[in-house]
Structure 1
Amino acid sequence: MECNVDNTTIITDEKVTHIRLTNKDNVAIAVNALEAGIELEPGLMTLEPIPQGHKIALWDLKRGEGVIRYGVLLGNLSKDIKKGGWINEHMIDLPASPELDTLEFATEINNNLPNPPVDYWDGYEVEGCEYAGTRNILGISTTVQCVEGVLNVAVTKMKKELLPKYPNVDDIVALVHPYGCGVAINARDAFIPIRSVKNLVKNPNFGGEIMVVALGCEKLTVEMLLEEKDINSENVVILQEQKGFQSMIDRLMDVAETKLQKLNERKRVRLPLSKLCIGMQCGGSDAFSGVTANPSAGYASDLLVKGGATVLFSEVTEVRDGVRQIAQRCVSEEVGKKLIQEMAWYDNYLALGDVDRDANPTPGNKKGGLANIVEKAMGSIAKSGTSPIIDVIGPGEIPAKKGLIFAATPGSDIVCGPSHLASGITLQVFMTGRGTPYGLAAAPVIKVCSRSVMKEQWMDLIDVNAGQVATGEKSIEDVGLELFYFIIDVASGRKKPWAEEYGLHNYLCIFNPAPIT
């Protein structure tokens, strides 16, 4: 059986026991766990048990010889491997990182994208904002972590006493984070967390309504967070100016109700896809992520981009080894130079911690068949589809262009997510192979799994099953189209993904490379 995956070919036998991605590959991966002595194809038999997703040598390989998957070098073998043998992460030496000064730009620009079946959705317009909201939320921002305890008590009270009075408002979300004080606020890289916290306030899902809670003595002042015109008693509550705890709660309740009254007047309207901004992220990845879930998301991304939407994909360490492929899709040298700048900054950031990009893969990634960061990167970039990359932005930066954008965030799920929110996404698509209950309170998160067994195990946490691609039951295009329709339905408020249904969400871990004092 053959089917197209991100311009490569899945080659399997009739029983779909193993997957070989390109005819350059000298390894395949096991679709399910294989026992020793299983004939995979004429002349190829497993010499030992092979775990699901792990690599099988397609012919005899010598020590020092390269292991090829996705048509690229994953690394060199540290020992001889016989045909049909198991190749795991302990047997592959990491190759050198791709050089940044030899990259070529705009050499692989694909303008022949698939046409979306619909080019509209129903969302909440925001005055003066390029993008519209998928949800109608009262977002309460904070300048510093110190106010979290009081704000959490207030929000619990708001949800019980105020929210039921305003049925058109979806939720009240406290944007609490660990930044704001005890930090070197004027350090060289402090602009990164400051920009992220500042831009979180502007997320379209908050409808342009501003509510900020400050302590009063923190380093991240209200003046650093808001424009001068927005700093007033209608938008800002400073706890140190209140007379006791109850006064704090009463004041927060009063300001919140004023905001809720305004938000309750908002209605969904029919909008073009150009008003939609979403994020693509993956976590708990495995060897199937780059075969099923991520390419399916990439196809959905291409549909969205062709329709005029903006799609962010990210995770520097998880694309660093695919930087050549990304550079070739950058529409200009100007965009390419931004890519180099972000990659070089992150290389230096990792070097300061005395680690390299291979510190990224987790034990779960490796148990799922990913040998190293090179293999993980090849699968990760598949979620970007094939669209031209029209811009590169830093973590928490708001896009100035529409289309496919590389947002240079860390790979950590709980850091990438808040960075996407700060950049203005109003919905996120999250691919996983091993499974994670990750979610965002400020935007719905759609979960796509890479294996059918994951869907069977987490039937009420996974929204879209891409595992059927591996077994030949569906194509990349089938799952991608299913995901596209689900994105439109979720964005339009007609459906909720499981994470939103259960109220699953993670703490906003703002990326802060600056010193903590």
Structure 2
Amino acid sequence: MQLIEHSDSPRYVRLHAADNVVVVVNDQGVAEGSRFPDGLTVIEGVPQSHKVATVDIAEGGTVVRYGQIIGYALEPIRQGSWVKESQLAMPSAPPLDSLPMSDAVPPALPPLEGFTFQGYRNADGTVGTRNILGITTTVQCVTGVLDHAVKRIREELLPKYPNVDDVVALTHSYGCGVAINARDAYIPIRTVRNLARNPNLGGEALVIGLGCEKLQAGQVMHEDDPSVDLSEPWLYRLQDSGHGFGEMVEQIMALAETRLAKLDLRRRETVPASELILGMQCGGSDAFSGITANPALGFASDLLIRAGATVMFSEVTEVRDAIYMLTSRAETHEVATELVREMDWYDNYLERGAADRSANTTPGNKKGGLSNIVEKSLGSIVKSGSSAINGVLGPGERVNRKGLIYCATPASDFVCGTLQLAAGMNLHVFTTGRGTPYGLAMTPVVKVSTRTELAERWPDLIDIDAGRIATGRATIEELGWELFHYYLAVASGEKQTWAERYRLHNDITLFNPAPIT
């Protein structure tokens, strides 16, 4: 990465020697006539995080960033001009039948030993970073009653059990009015089931049902599942109530108290860093995502992999255009084939909905300098680091091995976070350039800003400022190590993230590609 840096001059970042565009670093952008220290002069004003052409690009010529083609010029682009989305034709998506398959598998990095955190060991062998009572649901109809009960549990019961961090309602919009036997219905069903098995719930999750819904409690909790305790009462159906709303709430509270008493007996213990299951995600991305925050996450990901941990990255449409870089890194041909399988499934899913991958890039992404999904994808995959990809999960599946895992999810923040929770993550990291107060109730969310300006504007929402990389105040390696240590401190309960402190929690949002009846 080449950084033109000087506090009193226009500054840019070039990521690859082959790039013919660079990204403006200055908070207020650069004005017409501004001259970079290497002599490049802009011929029009260019906002921060947007691209400047370093050479004349002919009509039909390639526009290159990250050393990859991100578009073809629809008109001549002059050296020093602002390269805009409207000037670029997007390349076609890489065909899935001719990808490089496991041909550049990175060698294993040296083990990183001796790092630990304070976690809660579970009966099924997983480890929680928090000690939470989870109350899941079979249908949206029970949400109002459960929300009322949770409010009372938090106010009246939690103070009696100081070793329990919180009580969380795992409410969702599935369960009835759905084609429960449709081809793709397995995705929301297994997601609901696996959410209740998240390590941070300690195997003590409860189920609240209505009684007449299509999704029945036995599909959420399986009797032979070692990750949940079914030895004591775990289910309450509202239609079993004989005395109305008041009895419903009291019954839920009584059921909850039996589990709170058990959770309160748990204590943190020293566990190796290998017990961490980190989920990584982007949201409100900008052109700095692939320059600062995501590379730092990638470096920290490599550190965690060296320590034996599990690291998940996701978002199908945000890796689809760079999939050739991932299939090359797949540990085995089988893993590469699984990556292709998930890309193909999602291509077909978008086609059925009369959409394509270009629908991903948001107005905020574009305002932040990302011209199209190709450019966005190249910056998104950087957070996967440089390790071999060891496994692939379909949406709603639970992780069953350690290493670097591709967890196939939509790019929607809320759906992706929900599916990573179902996969078993016990810690989440979320990068943002435009800014979002995103959070999850079931696990701490570490927020990393791509720009210092955002971190300074939102000092009580952003946990880590990765914008320091763009201004030369920190290196990718330094930020990567900072994140690594911060992850372990948050996992241990030594630090609280801002989202956790303020209880900033987005809704659980299931991915349901099946029909609604």
**When the two structures are superposed, what TM-score results if normalisation uses the length of structure 1?**
0.96
Could you list the per-position Cα deviations for residues 46-89 of structure 1 after superposition, in whole angstroms to 9, with x for gaps in the alignment? 00000111110101111111110000010111111110000111
Query: How much has 1:112 moved relative to structure 2?
Result: 5.1
Match of 1:363 in 2: 363
CA distance in 1, matches of 2:418, 2:486: 22
Match of 2:140 among 145, 155, 163: 145
CA displacement at 1:43 relative to structure 2: 4.0
Paired residue secondary structure (2:124): coil
Distance in 2 between residues matched to 1:194 and 1:405, nearest whole Å: 22
Residue 41 (structure 1) shift: 3.8
Contact 2:429 2:447 in 1 (8 A): yes
Aligned counterparts, 1:252-401, within 5 A: 252-401=252-401
Cross-structure match for 1:4: none
Distance in 1 (alpha carbons) for counterparts of 2:196 and 2:376: 33
Of 73, 84, 87, 1:88 maps to 84
Q: Is residue 2:61 matched to residue 1:62?
A: no
Deviations for 1:225-259, whole angstroms, at most 9, x for unmatched residues? 11136668710000000121111111101100000
Q: Give unpaired runs (5+ residues) of structure 1.
A: 1-8
Cα-to-partner distance string for 1:434-488 (whole Å, 9 max, x where unaligned):
1100000000000000000010100110000000100111000111111111100
**How big is each residue's C-alpha offset from its partner over 1:283-328, in whole Å with a ceiling of 9 and x where there is no partner?**
0000000000000011111111100000000000001011011101
- Judged with a 3 Å threshold, the aligned counterparts in structure 2 of structure 1 residues 472 and 118 are, in CA distance, closer, same or farther, namely farther
3-state DSSP class of the match of 2:127? coil
Counterpart code for 1:10: Q
Residues 266, 359 of structure 1: alpha-carbon distance in 2 compared, 3 angstrom cutoff: same
Partner SS for 2:219: helix
Residue number among 24, 31, 43 corresponding to 1:30 in the alignment: 24
Partner of 2:162: 167
Residue correspondences, number = 508
1:235 aligns with 2:234: yes
State the SS of the aligned residue for 1:139: strand
Identify if the C-alpha distance between structure 1 residues 114 and 468 changes in structure 2 by more than 3 Å, giving closer, same or farther.
Answer: farther
- Select between 98-107 and 191-200 the one with higher mean Cα deviation: 98-107
Q: Which amino acid aligns with 2:24?
A: A
Report the secondary structure of 1:389's partner residue: coil
Question: Structure 1, residues 165-197: CA drift from partner, whole Å, max 9, x if none?
Answer: 000000000000111111111110000111100
User: 1:237, 1:442 → 2: CA distance?
Assistant: 22
Is the 2:5–2:471 Cα contact (8 Å) retained in structure 1? Answer: no
Identity between Structure 1 and Structure 2 (%): 53
Q: What SS does the aligned partner of 1:278 have?
A: strand
2:4 to 9, 12, 33: 12
Correspondence for 1:198: 193
What secondary structure does 1:291 align onto? coil
1:289 alignment partner, SS class = coil
CA, structure 1 residues 233+261, in 2 after alignment: closer, same or farther (shift >3 Å)? closer
Kept in 2, the 8 Å contact 1:106–1:332? The answer is yes
2:485 maps to which residue?
A: 485
1:99 aligns with 2:98: no
8 Å contact 1:140–1:173 — kept in the other structure?
yes
- Distance of 1:43 and 1:506 partners within structure 2: 47
CA contact (8 A) 1:65 1:77 kept: yes
The correspondence of residues 32-51 of structure 1 with structure 2, limited to 5 A, is 32=26, 33-51=29-47
User: After alignment, is 13-22 or 346-355 more displaced?
Assistant: 13-22
Alignment RMSD: 1.3
Tell me if structure 1 keeps the 8 A contact 2:460–2:498.
yes
Equivalent of 1:223 in 199, 218, 226: 218
Letter in 1 for 2:86: H
2:200 is aligned with 1:182: no
C-alpha distance in 2, partners of 1:432/1:114? 31
1:430-445 alignment, distance < 5 Å: 430-445=430-445
For 2:312 and 2:128, locate their aligned partners in 1 and report how far apart those are by CA, in whole Å.
16
2:73 corresponds, among 66, 71, 77, to 77
**Secondary structure of the corresponding residue to residue 161 of structure 1:** helix
Unpaired runs of 5+ residues, structure 2, are none
**Equivalent AA in structure 2 for residue 331 of structure 1:** E
- Kept after mapping to 2: 8 A contact 1:13/1:40: no
2:10–2:35 CA contact under 8 A, matched in 1? no
8 A contact 1:16–1:471 mirrored in 2: no
Distance 1:251 1:373, change over 3 A: same
Compared with structure 1, are the counterparts of its residues 213 and 293 closer, same or farther at alpha carbon in structure 2 (3 Å cutoff)?
A: same
Q: Secondary structure of the residue that 2:396 maps to in structure 1?
A: coil
CA distance in 1, matches of 2:390, 2:318: 20
1:195-215 CA-partner distances (Å, limit 9, x unpaired): 100101100101111300000
TM-score (norm 2): 0.96
Amino acid at match of 1:405: I
